[in-house]
Amino acid sequence: MTAAPRPRRSVLYMPGSNARALEKGRALPADGLILDLEDAVAPDAKEAARKQVVDVLGAGGYGKRELIARVNGLDTPWGEADVRAIARSAADALLIPKVESADGVRRVADIMTSAGSDRMPVWCMIETPEGVLNAAAIARASRRVGCFVMGTSDLAKDLRAAHTRERLPMLTSLGLCVLAARASGIAILDGVHLDLADDGGFAYSCQQGKELGFDGKTLIHPKTVAAANRIFAPSAEEIAWAKKIIAAHAEANKLGQGVVVVNGRLIENLHVEAAHRLVALADAITEMEAGATAG
């Protein structure tokens, strides 16, 4: 059996320069928080935001939430200093923006190593056509790579594609990145939904993302956390079915049978493996929610 999956149903962007928002994040029910030093921070606030994020990470109080810091790119005046500071911080992962090549990942990983960080994972934002086309190489660029984060807003701009409810112009790019992530055994998060007044469209995009194979969704507002958590979590019916086929398959194995029929469906090892993963995810979500307010 593989390690239990970590819940990443909802991962919320938070501006690293906003002290009130960072404090509020300690009580939000999101599975993860991206403390942003890039797009959400004005140029004249970059250095102050970096110090604030490092201090906040060191102070803790976020319970079991996964904490990721998004740095500025190495082609900016702040990128290398961001990488060095976050590599030495208490972050769970470092998020690299606009990754387009394996070399770009390795450059960041080398700086992290030189800063004394041997184990911190890197997450990679895939938000350009070049990044999508190189997704498989990026996923395998370093042992540190742990997750893809889709930057669908920038990607749509570069593709000159429309933002539609069904996201048909994006499906090729989304599918290629899911394929690359799964082939390399890493996680992958769907991009943000920009229209905060469109609750129905947001729910649709979450359901679509789940069906495409994403582990969760990146978010831009706390009001969307609950819906993402609900949609990306296994339902009660899914959990009950998973436990039923696990039990039936175990009983069949005792009788020397490799397959079993449950409610008219043929159940094989591959279905049982998926069922074990689903139950493990449900258990991990329960554990996370039980300890959500722990320091």
CATH number for the domain spanning 76: value is: 3.20.20.60
Could you tell me the pLDDT band of residue 292, with boundaries at 50, 70 and 90? low
Cα first-last separation, the chain: 30
Task: Of 7, 3, 6, 9, give the one whose Cα is nearest residue 210.
Answer: 9
User: What phi, psi does 41 have (nearest 5°)?
Assistant: -120, 130
- Contact between residue 220 and residue 196 where contact means Cβ atoms under 8 Å apart: yes
Q: Are residues 179 and 252 in the same domain?
A: no
Q: Are residues 223 and 178 in the same domain?
A: yes
Q: Are residues 240 and 206 in the same domain?
A: no
pLDDT at 1 (0 to 100): 42
pLDDT at 294 over 70: no
Is 5 within a domain?
Answer: no
Is 181 within a domain?
Answer: yes
Is 203 within a domain?
Answer: yes
Q: Are residues 286 and 194 in the same domain?
A: no
Mark which of 197, 215, 232 sits at the end of a domain.
232
Q: Are residues 227 and 124 in the same domain?
A: yes
User: What phi, psi does 255 have (nearest 5°)?
Assistant: -95, 5
Q: Are residues 285 and 161 in the same domain?
A: no
For residue 59, give its domain range: 10-232
Q: Are residues 215 and 284 in the same domain?
A: no
Mark which of 211, 232, 253 sits at the end of a domain.
232
**Tens digit of each residue's pLDDT (9 = 90 or more) over 175-207:** 999 999 999 999 999 999 999 999 999 999 999
**Tens digit of each residue's pLDDT (9 = 90 or more) over 44-68:** 999 999 999 999 999 999 999 999 9
Q: Are residues 120 and 196 in the same domain?
A: yes
Q: Look at the chain and report how many structural domains it folds into.
A: 2
The dihedral region occupied by 210, where left means phi > 0, alpha psi between -120 and 50, and beta the remainder, is alpha
Is 249 within a domain?
Answer: yes
Q: Are residues 228 and 240 in the same domain?
A: no
Exposure string of 221-233, with b = 16+ CB inside 10 Å and e = fewer, is ebebbebbbebbb
Task: Of 237, 224, 223, 225, give the one whose Cα is nearest residue 282.
Answer: 237
pTM across the whole model: 0.94
Q: Are residues 39 and 182 in the same domain?
A: yes
Q: Are residues 65 and 110 in the same domain?
A: yes
Mark which of 232, 252, 267 sits at the end of a domain.
232
